[in-house]
Amino acid sequence: MREFTRQLKQEALRIGFHMVGVATAAPTMFYEEYNEWLAQGMHGTMDYLARNLEKRLDSRLLLDGTARSIVMVGVNYYSDLQEGPETPVGVPGAGVIARYARGDDYHDVVLAALRELERWVRERHPTANSRCYVDTGPLLERETAQRAGLGWVGKHTLLINRDWGSYFFLGALVTSLELEPDQEAQEHCGTCTRCIDACPTGAITAPYTLDARRCLSYLTIEQKDVIPSEYLQAVSALPSRIFGCDICQEVCPFTKRFSRPTTWPEFTSRIQSGSMQLIPILDCFEDEFRVQFRGSAVKRAKLRGLQRNATAALYGSSNAGTEEILQRTTVAHNEDVVRQEAAIVLSARHAAE
């Protein structure tokens, strides 16, 4: 299958993927570590990470046990030409959206391209089983991508590529075909700990270990309850983070040096400078939210989640009228979680005076 594997990779590049590699379906090397991570509850409320555990920890069990190879693809999504890969300059009264969510929803975009590659394979091997995943199946994508040669898992637990940095999406095409595997990528983090040192909440508790419950991305996207007072300073510090967090990537030497503009127009930023004014978010109506973020990953937080995050980001605001806005939000907002967050922010501001 060496020649077919070569042709498949050429087709993946023709479709537009920026990187492609092949890994053999195999048991994870981190069986004990992953189970311990779950046992400690570091996945928070992301219960799906504990479902289909046997398949997640042994990709040979995918496709009803017929999986033999996994084609991993990567798509660069970096689009912030105006600011470069450095940390964006904070704008008082505004909150930043993580770079991955500034364009179209990657689940839809990458999956459509991956299915095009899957059709190409099926035309040549119609009896082969296959399935596409874009952050949607029981697969340890980053470990598999490392074995496929796309990059290595950095100390912040994200994948890093020597030529692209870390701003790229992953997709997987699981197949029953026995393809020619690539050589596993080697780690190049060395003694660097910039990502660990820069994390404002200490979520990277040790190299290669992330406590999601403390991560700003988790707190502003996955968590549905209020953001506790101990994280308000991290959320509101300029630039305020109201959907996701790029800090551990922004400080990475590889990402700072090798990030380049994406060639996929779907991932061009819809949001000027990647930030939004906080007060208009609080006053936003559901229909306005749906129109602005149609086809965007920001929808995952829902309007009430984005409004909760904007409320938390007001903790550090020194603008005139902030206190009055928070007071009004505690009694007049139509979402319980936003009213509760406003009360937490008010209490924390008064305690800090």
Known catalytic residues are 135
Residue 348 DSSP SS3: helix
What are φ and ψ of residue 201, in 5° steps? -115, 5
For 48, 125, 177, 290, the CA distances from 294, given in Å and listed in that order, are 25, 37, 37, 5
Partnered with residue 132 across adjacent β-strands are 173
- The whole-angstrom separation of Cα 226 and Cα 167 is 29
Closest to 54 in 3D by CA, of 73, 24, 34: 34
CB within 8 Å of 94: residues ≥ 6 apart: 239, 240, 275, 276, 277, 278
- The whole-angstrom separation of Cα 199 and Cα 114 is 33
What are φ and ψ of residue 37, in 5° steps? -60, -45
